[in-house]
Structure 1
Amino acid sequence: FEEDRSALKRLVKLIVTEPELRLIIVEATLREITTKQDLEKYYQAYKQDLEKYYEMTKQDIKELEERLRNELDYKISALRNELKAEIAGLAERVDMLYKLMLASVLGIVITLATTILLKIIP
């Protein structure tokens, strides 16, 4: 048909004038064409998949948020306990320094009193 243009023209005229051939070609063509209903069906399927993935992602985010919140609460509690222990240790050291200072002041007062008494009593 590519070399013989007149044969191609006769074939086209035959197809155009023959109702059964036209119907066969149209039906074959329609099978290959996407219809509006097909598009609607694919759109609905796509929309359902998208909604499903959206819900799954939303759930994943909630779970991640909860896990992070629990992890942060645990770490904050651990840090708080460490700080309490450190503060308690510092309080003990301050108390020990206070007692040491009190003993030193008492020693100084006794030394002064003894020195004064020794000067007064010959």
Structure 2
Amino acid sequence: MVELSADFIVGLFERDVRARRRLVELLVSEPEIRLAIVNAVLREVALKSDIEGLGGELREELEKLRREFREEFKGVRREFREGLEKVRLELRDYVNLRIGEVGDYLVKYIDGRVADLHRRIDDLGRWLRATLVAVLLTLISTVLSPLVLKILGIL
């Protein structure tokens, strides 16, 4: 004879769909069993008021998260602006420094070019004076040579 255990019986119902349906029909047809099943199911079913309450809690939680996000975002924006301002000031200082260095370089370069120009103008002035002296001496010698020769009676 086969020993019937609860596991064995459950296994039979798991394999035989038709027998399982018949068992359910038998259980549901008994008013006391049906009431016990309905009460057990009702304990697990969420009521409309439960869902509305959860919806309200969910809305409150969402609003709280929105407020927290706004505050956090304000803080991030403030930190970003402060960092941006710091970078802007550092960049301004760097650019001013570089402009100063370039300005100093240009002043030195222009001073050197102007000094070179002065030197060349001075050289040109000396050359011009020497040329003028040579022209005057040539004119004097051209004019005075015949006079001197006439005075001496050579011409």
Q: TM-score surpassing 0.5?
A: yes
Moved more, 46-55 or 23-32: 23-32
CA distance in 2, matches of 1:90, 1:105: 22
TM-score (norm 1): 0.75
Look at both structures and tell me which one has the larger radius of gyration over its CA atoms.
2
2:59 aligned residue: 47
Partner residue, 2:75 = 63
Sort the Cα spacing of 1:117 and 1:103 in 2 relative to 1 into closer, same or farther, 3 A.
same
Distance 1:32 1:120 in 2: 124
**Residue of structure 2 in register with 1:89 after alignment:** 101
- Which of 31, 48, 51 is residue 36 of structure 1 equivalent to? 48
Give the CA deviation at 1:47: 1.2
Read off the aligned partner of 2:111 and give its amino acid letter.
K
| Aligned AA (1:121) | V
CA distance in 1, matches of 2:28, 2:83: 76
Task: Give TM-score, length-normalised by structure 2.
Answer: 0.61
Where do 5+ consecutive residues of structure 2 fail to align?
1-12, 14-18, 135-155
- With CA pairs under 8 Å and 6+ residues apart, which has the higher RCO, 1 or 2? 1
CA distance in 1, matches of 2:113, 2:123: 15
Letter paired with 1:62:
K
1:1-122 to structure 2, matched below 5 A, reads: 9=26, 15-16=30-31, 26-121=38-133
Shift of 1:106: 0.9
RMSD of aligned residue pairs (Cα, Å): 2.7
> How many residue pairs end up in the alignment?
114
